[in-house]
Amino acid sequence: MTPRVRVPETGYNFAYLDEATKRMIRRALLKAVAIPGYQVPFAAREMPMPYGWGTGGVQVTAAILGRNDVLKVIDQGSDDTTNAVSIRAFFARTAGVAVTTRTRDATVIQTRHRIPEAPLAEGQVLVYQVPIPEPLRFLEPRETETRQLHALAEYGPMHVKLYEDIARHGHIATTYAYPVEVAGRYVMDPSPTPKFDNPKMDDCPALQLFGAGREKRIYAVPPYTRVRSLDFEDHPFRVQHFDRPCALCGAGDVYLDEVLTDDAGGRMFVCSDTDHCEARREAGHRGEGA
C-alpha cells in the first residue's frame, strides 16, 4: 500500500487550502449538517485540478482533515483509478496524512459515485464528489426557481418525472443520481451513485458530506437520518439486481462492473468496490473467473 508520508510538502498550508477558505467551508458544513439535504452556497475556490475531477469533494476533505485522519479515496468504487490515486497522493503530499485503501481503516473516505460495500461505522466521514447538486436542475434550469421550489417543498415536478419514466418504460428507469428525500423534508441528489447504493445512505452510522465545486454547493446527511428514495405505492423503489455473482470473489450482493477481457466479445462482471473484492478473496472466496 502507499506508504505513510509523514512530512507534508513545504510551501503549502496543511491540506493545501488557506485557513480563511477552510473557515468559510467549515461554517457552510455546520449549517449543512443542521439542515439535512439543503444545499448551502459556498465560495468554492479553484483547485489544482479541473472541474469535474472532484474539486468540491477535495475542498470538503481539506476543510475537515486533521493530522490523525486516515484517508481513503475511491473513484467508482475503485482505489486504483487515476482520480482516486491522484487525490490520495494530493493529500498525502499536502497534509502528510496516512492513506489507506481499506474501508474499515479509514476515518475520511472521499468518493466519486459509489458507497463502499462494507458497512460504514460511527467514526467515519464519507465525502461525496458532486457534479450537479440540484436534483431539480434538469426540470427547472433557473436557480431562482429551484430555490423557491425547495423553500416551498414543492417536489411535484420530480414525481412527474418519475411518473413519466413509468408511462414510457413501464418502470422507473432512473438508475443513478436517483432522488432521495432527507429527514422528511429536502429532496436531494445523492450524486451520480448507482441507485443500488441509495439504501446505504438511510440510517447510516457515518456522517455524509457532499461537495460540488463548480456549482459551489455543500450539503450533508447526518448519521442515523432517514433517507428515502422517491417512489410510488404501486411502483416501489427497487435496486438493480445482477444475474451472476462477481467473477473474482463470488459476491452476490454487490454492485458489479462489466470488464471487457478481449476484442472478441469476452467479458466478466466483477465487484466495483475493489477493496471489498480484495478482502473477500483474501478471506478465501473465489468466483468463477478467478
Partner 1 sequence: MALARGFADPVHDAQGAFRAMLDALARPGLVQALPAALAPPAPLTSELAAIALALADADAPVWLDGPLAEAPEVEEFLRFHTGARLVADPAEAAFALVADPEACPDFSAFAQGSPAYPDRSTTLVLAVRHLAAGEGLAFEGPGIRGRVRLGVAPLPAGFAARWSANHALFPRGIDLLLAAPGRVAGLPRTARLLEA
Return residues touching partner 1 (CB under 8 A).
13-14, 19-20, 22-24, 26-36, 38, 40-41, 63-67, 147-148, 150-152, 182-183, 185-186, 205, 207, 220-226
54, 77, 211, 277: the catalytic one is 277
Measured from the CB atom, the residue of 108 and 256 that comes closer to partner 1 is: 108
Q: What is the Cα–Cα distance from 66 to 97, expressed in whole angstroms?
A: 8
Is 204 tagged catalytic? Answer: no
Residue 117 CA, chain-centre distance (Å), reads 12
Compute the least distance from the CB of residue 39 to partner 1, in Å. Answer: 9
- 3-class state of residue 259 by DSSP: strand
37, 54, 77, 287: the catalytic one is 37
Measured from the CB atom, the residue of 15 and 268 that comes closer to partner 1 is: 15
Is 249 tagged catalytic? Answer: yes
Compute the least distance from the CB of residue 203 to partner 1, in Å. Answer: 9
Measured from the CB atom, the residue of 180 and 270 that comes closer to partner 1 is: 180
Measured from the CB atom, the residue of 85 and 183 that comes closer to partner 1 is: 183
User: In terms of Cα–Cα distance, which of 201, 203, 177, 181 is closest to 189?
Assistant: 177
Is 37 tagged catalytic? Answer: yes
74 with 34: CB under 8 angstroms?
no
Compute the least distance from the CB of residue 177 to partner 1, in Å. Answer: 22
Is 77 tagged catalytic? Answer: no
Count of alpha carbons within 13 angstroms of residue 193, beta-carbon side: 29
Compute the least distance from the CB of residue 31 to partner 1, in Å. Answer: 4
54, 57, 77, 249: the catalytic one is 249
211, 256, 263, 264, 267 from 260: Cα distances, Å: 32, 13, 8, 9, 4
Start-to-end CA distance of the chain, whole Å, equals 22
57, 250, 271, 287: the catalytic one is 271
Compute the least distance from the CB of residue 48 to partner 1, in Å. Answer: 19
17 with 59: CB under 8 angstroms?
yes
Q: What is the Cα–Cα distance from 80 to 101, expressed in whole angstroms?
A: 9
Measured from the CB atom, the residue of 145 and 164 that comes closer to partner 1 is: 145
Q: What is the Cα–Cα distance from 117 to 77, expressed in whole angstroms?
A: 9
57, 77, 211, 246: the catalytic one is 246
Would you name the residues annotated as active-site residues?
Answer: 37, 246, 249, 271, 277
